[in-house]
A and B are shown apart, each in its own frame.
Chain A
Amino acid sequence: MDRFLFLTLDGLSRGAVYAAFALALVLIWRAGRIVNFAQGAMAVAAAYVAYSVTAATGSYWLGFGAALLAGLLLGAVVDLAVMRLVDHRSPLNPVIVALGLVLLIQAVLGMVYGNEYLPAQAPFSRTAMTVGGTAVLSPYDLFVFATVGVVVAALVWIFTRTAIGLRMRAAAFAPEVSRLLGVNVGGMLTLGWALASGVGALAGMLVIPTELGVHPHAMDLVFVTAFTAAVIGGLDSPPGAVVGGLGVGLLLSYVSGYAGGDLIPLAVLALLLTVLLLRPGGLFAAVTARRV
């Protein structure tokens, strides 16, 4: 029972990160009908920025801030310099371009930093605290929950309570009408990319210290996992992404705790395959996403 409790809490902490990363995917999907396959590579790039800043200043938090800023900027640059130029009439094109970005970003990171795992510092202890003899959460887990909670709350606030959020939603739902109403649709799209990439960078910063460290490929499996979470949520639904992320985190924690950590990749693939075959629209889809 103790073990079950521990795995549950650990899974939720893991899931919070997947939720944040899935949220980043959903944001771009809603804004521009693109699944950003470069999200993982972009998040890793931000994590390397954090690594450099922390190494130069000795401060984790300066690095953390730099990663968020780098994420925001990178998102805007990718939209303006690359995605805006792509012919979107075939849905294959943006996907292929995003994959080109993956190659390019990972290669540049490899050239600058090398293809080895670099240590990633955690700002708080990762040792679980014990309550009444039962290991529960580590201070780092609490940090993850708090950060993801703040991000989700901030996104909800931006999108439902602010004028810019209203513009972003309008631009995504009805670009042409929005332009007639004076909304700078292109600007909103860029802002959406920046926000999403910032959230992705944050998720990367949270997950990388719990894995092997910073590496150009550090987010590959995280990306696939978060994509699975987003698909479970329906790709279109931010609450769905959060629930999907937490669910996938829990499931993987149980798989790794009861069956072995080696099985995680296989479990992710099996889960994705099952969801896509049984409920391709996701469990929370607001509109049917996939129809000819």
Chain B
Amino acid sequence: MSGDLLTVETLAAGYGPVPVLHDVDLRVPTGTIAAVIGANGAGKTTLLRTLSGMLRPTSGRILLDGRDLRGTPVEQLVRRGVAHVPEGRGVIGELTVEENLRLGALWRRDRADAARALDEIYELFAPLATRRRHLGHQLSGGERQMLALGRALVGRPRLLLLDEPSLGLAPRVVAQTMALLRRLRDDTGLTVLLVEQNVRSALAVADQGIVMSLGRVVLAAPAARLRDDADLRHAYLGF
């Protein structure tokens, strides 16, 4: 494991004429978890949307493993090894659990491995296996979380982008999710960039904390430092 899987250089983006991101720089080393934290409106979701190509950057570079991602259509991103679990998790309510999961691996040529990956997901998230035929909108919040993560993981991504995985979930489920991310990092070398308002949970699992404010990265530091240095935490996170 060496080098940075994701490098963002002087990235700027916005909606129409309204700029949201200014001059964003960040690096996520391979096999680590980075947590982007900051208040509402800091540009966290916009950053993720720009990384996955849903929003076109006005300037700057996004490098995945040293290769520029700009110009890659959104639908090609999974083929480069990037999985994005969007805001609100994006479970398709009209499709069954099984269909949602299959959708995550449809792009893969290796059908045999895709089938294996599907079985692995059912092992990882046992509750989903019992609800294969249920529609997405019949699931509980925790089950949706599993489905969204499972659907992202079934494509065996290198980089996982997560938008507010803790939103609307019970603390127990949040803790399970974070534990799972840590396990995936340690066991499979998965790289994770997650955006969170729940700073404590995010920093508990992350290797690196990236603080955003008003569309800029104001601090990127080892998560342990942010956790332990009360002055720093107070200055940037307000608690």
Is the pair A182, B99 in contact by a Cβ cutoff of 8 Å?
no
Q: Tell yes or no: A92 within 8 A of B by CB.
A: no
Q: Shortest beta-carbon distance, B111 to chain A, in Å?
A: 10
Main secondary structure of the interface of B (DSSP, over half): mixed
In the complex, which residues of chain B have a beta carbon less than 8 angstroms from the beta carbon of A163? 102, 106
Asked if B92 and A170 make an inter-chain contact with CB atoms under 8 angstroms apart, the answer reads yes
- Across the interface, which residues of B come within 8 angstroms of A174, CB to CB? 90, 92
**Once bound together, how far apart are the Cα atoms of A183 and B102, in whole Å?**
12
B106 touching A173, Cβ below 8 Å: no
* 0 or 1 for each of B73-105: is its CB under 8 Å from A? (1 = yes): 011111100011010001011110001001110
- Please, which residues of chain A bring their CB within 8 A of the CB of B52? 180
- Which residues on the B side are within 8 Å of A154 (C-beta)? none
Chain A hits for B90, CB < 8 A: 174, 176-177, 180
Asked whether B15 is an interface residue with its Cβ less than 8 Å from the other chain, the reply is no
Question: A178 within 8 Å of B by Cβ?
Answer: yes
A181 x B103 contact (CB < 8 A)? yes
Contacts of B102 in A (CB 8 A): 163, 166
A180-204: contact bitstring with B at CB < 8 Å (1 yes, 0 no)?
A: 1111110000000000000000000
- Closest chain B CB from A285 CB (angstroms): 14
The answer to whether A182 touches B92, judged by C-beta atoms less than 8 angstroms apart, is: no
With an 8 A cutoff between CB atoms, is B236 at the interface?
A: no
CB pair A166–B99 under 8 Å, yes or no, is yes
Closest-by-CB residue of A relative to B111 is A163
Which residues in B have their C-beta under 8 angstroms from that of A177?
A: 86, 90, 92
Tell me whether B106 and A166 are in contact (CB under 8 A). yes
Q: Is B54 an interface residue (CB 8 A)?
A: yes
Residues in A with CB closer than 8 Å to B93 are 173
Binary B-proximity of A239-272 (CB < 8 A = 1, otherwise 0): 0000000000000000000000000000000000
A126 at the interface (CB under 8 A from B): no
Q: Which of A150-183 contact B (CB under 8 A)?
A: 163, 166-167, 169-170, 173-174, 176-183
Complex-state Cα separation, A167 to B107, whole angstroms: 10
Residue of B with least CB distance to A160? B99
Give the Cβ gap from B112 to chain A, nearest Cβ, in Å: 15
Shortest Cβ gap from B232 to chain A (Å): 34
- Write the chain A residue with the least CB distance to B78: A182
Chain A residues whose C-beta falls within 8 Å of the C-beta of B99 in the assembled complex: 166, 169-170
Output the least CB separation between B134 and chain A (Å).
16
Determine whether the beta carbon of A170 is less than 8 Å from that of B95: yes
Which B residues are in CB contact (< 8 Å) with A173? 92-95
- Whether the pair A167, B106 counts as a contact (CB closer than 8 A) is yes
Closest residue on chain B to residue A287 by CB atoms? B94
Cα–Cα distance between A160 and B106 once the two chains are bound (Å): 14
Q: Would you give the 0/1 interface string for B60-81, flagging 1 where the beta carbon is closer than 8 Å to chain A? A: 0000000000000011111100
* Pairs across A and B, CB under 8 Å, 22 listed: A163-B106, A166-B95, A166-B102, A169-B94, A169-B99, A170-B92, A170-B99, A173-B92, A176-B54, A176-B86, A176-B90, A177-B86, A177-B90, A179-B54, A179-B74, A180-B84, A181-B103, A181-B104, A182-B79, A182-B106, A183-B103, A183-B107
By Cβ-Cβ distance, the 3 closest A-B pairs, closest first, are A182-B107, A177-B90, A182-B78
